[in-house]
Structure 1
């Protein structure tokens, strides 16, 4: 082998060794810095999934966390051209026993983006709305909902009122 060829090989071997050393040093440094973050905190008790002690507290917590629905009583009067109907909605907080409209209203309320916008919030003065008429229906809703007194009127005149009508559709729909 010529001298030049041997120098070229030795440089490649040296470069490979330096690269391997740098990778190992990086792995050790990562393990020292990130490794402790992957370990459980000192005050956390590690248990196996099959440990009998684990089932007791979880089962007790599940029994205590009983899901409740909304509570309220609303009287709804809806008029639509030449007909009208009255509906009373009683929501006791029992998701299994209450009418479907109770859980539908709870879902609508949970999906409201603006915290200040409640389920029965009326259109604020100065809100920009279209003048389009979406229907001749009018409704009056009176009662209590989640401990708050409710007394509101709505129609389907203008885009803002139509948005309220759609939001309260579980109350304003004719049943049967």
Structure 2
């Protein structure tokens, strides 16, 4: 998505160089230098991401499974610009629910705890955690004890429902 210019911003190469655009945001190797597969905690932030509508403020467990999941920015101006535009809809958090860069709570070492990036219009969402791996409650290694009697599916199902609803509303 970054290479296509759908998330982050893309700085085009000058035509005389004959080079493809150079992305301002890439996914780089985890700082741990290994594949990470663990159940981490993230917080859903205020953002235009249509898939995360109605989830703002949620602090949820989610599976991560990647070796190259560290969102890396060309420079601090790119990172701060995306932050101001609310394009970081998901962040790894510590036990107090605050964004963290501390390993293993942030399994890849992304700056500002970034676990996902969205486009300014909210149509595109790139994230490294895998909510599709924990849609059913039995896929969770831990959850609050009252969830068993309260829910039949995980709160992560909402992102797929949001995508379906958004698509259906635009097909009519």
TM normalised by structure 2 equals 0.29
Q: Which has the larger radius of gyration?
A: 1
Structure with larger RCO (C-alpha < 8 A, sep 6+): 2
Higher helix share: 1
TM normalised by structure 1 equals 0.28
